[in-house]
Amino acid sequence: MTRREILSTAASACAWLSAQSVNSQSSRPRLGGAPTAFSLRMRAARQENKPFDFVEYCHGLGLGGVETTLPKDADGVRKMRHQVETYGMQLYLNTPLPRAEGDVDGFDTAVKACKEAGARGLHAAMTGRRYEQFDSLDAFRKNFEQCQRSVALAEPILRKNKLKLAVENHKGWRAAEQAAWMKRVGSEWVGVCFDFGNNLSLSEAPDETFRLLAPYAIFSHIKDMGLELYEDGYLLSEVPFGQGVLNLRQMVHGLREKDPNMLFCLEMITRDPLKVPVFTDKYWATFDDSYSPVPARDLAKVLEIVRKNPRKTPLPRMAGLSPADQVRAEDGYNLKCIAYAHQNLDL
């Protein structure tokens, strides 16, 4: 991406947004913000020792909700509650889940604080990228068992405090694995933060991910995904809405049928493309036909999606750009997504 393209993207998106009323969000379903969509701007603020109020920033963009972290002190909790109530925003918070019995009391305290902050629910991304995080099926299995233990410990606290937990499909489990887990949990207080595109990295077509996980969705990370082949597999990258392979309209409609007031948190992550090395042994080390199968037809379907959707423009790449230009690129992509969501998705 050239600097001229960055400036053009940001300028056109800002011009559109400036013509919109930030109050228009109240009349439509909720488009919110996930912190990963704004990570470059937040990093720049930290490096300059400037305060960055994520709730305030998202409100300024006309967004109707946020996913963020629980403030560390009581004053921060009170301020956050005042903000979200004043702005009429939905709030989902990240706070560590218990790993062992000794963590349960601390989790109970944190959940109470999340409720005091005005949270509608909690968000948890419990894994990294499976094919990078683990070198063996046994290592993956032990981690998955720990994740299940954590949620089992958390559920009675969630139920007691009447606060829901949304576990993201975060490139760790295929949809069938996560859906079976949610069915075993069988609690109205535990569900899914449905990420629109992550499971493409696990050789899974988006319609299959949606079919299996949408029934458990509490809120979502909305994104569009671009794909390109490379020597060891395919590249995967968030792209501005409408420029990728996902059927955003269909997925948004399906989730709104489940919950008309569901929050869709923008997660247009601005970074270099991720490598999904499906032609290497390392990629398949955590899969097994009996414990965690990947039918050949699933990989074939994803590769067909790549082949049938050649990129008209290169995937976003930040390597070689100055920090300031990276922030400009992130701003431009986010504003283009917001404009597209307003114009085409009724968000």
Query: pLDDT tens-digit profile of 16-43?
Result: 454 444 444 444 569 999 999 999 999 9
Segment 188-208 shows an average pLDDT of 98
* CB distance 267 to 58 below 8 Å: no
* pLDDT mean across residues, the chain: 93
Give pLDDT, residue 17: 52
Confidence (pTM) = 0.93
What ranges in 162-247 are assigned the alpha helix state H? 175-185, 206-213
- How many independent structural domains does the chain possess? 1
Give pLDDT, residue 36: 98
Give pLDDT, residue 19: 45
Element (H, E) at 257: helix 248-258
Query: pLDDT tens-digit profile of 229-240?
Result: 999 999 999 999
Helix (H, G, I), strand (E, B) or coil at 73: coil
Query: pLDDT tens-digit profile of 135-161?
Result: 999 999 999 999 999 999 999 999 999
Element (H, E) at 195: strand 190-195
pLDDT over 70 percentage in the chain: 92
CATH of the domain at 177: 3.20.20.150
For strands 65-69 and 190-195, give the pairing. unpaired
Helix (H, G, I), strand (E, B) or coil at 233: strand
pLDDT score of 7 more than 60:
no
The residue range of the domain holding 238 is 3-344
Tokens coding 131: 């094919």
Query: pLDDT tens-digit profile of 49-102?
Result: 999 999 999 999 999 999 999 999 999 999 999 999 999 999 999 999 999 999
Residue 103: C-alpha distances to residues 164, 191, 219, 314 (Å): 18, 21, 26, 46
Query: pLDDT tens-digit profile of 279-314?
Result: 999 999 999 999 999 999 999 999 999 999 999 999
Q: How far apart are CA 114 and CA 52, in angstroms?
A: 20
pLDDT score of 256 more than 50:
yes
Partners of 229 in beta bridges: 234
pLDDT score of 106 more than 70:
yes
Q: How far apart are CA 54 and CA 38, in angstroms?
A: 9
Tokens coding 308: 């049938």
* Terminal Cα-to-Cα distance of the chain (whole angstroms): 28
* CB distance 194 to 151 below 8 Å: no
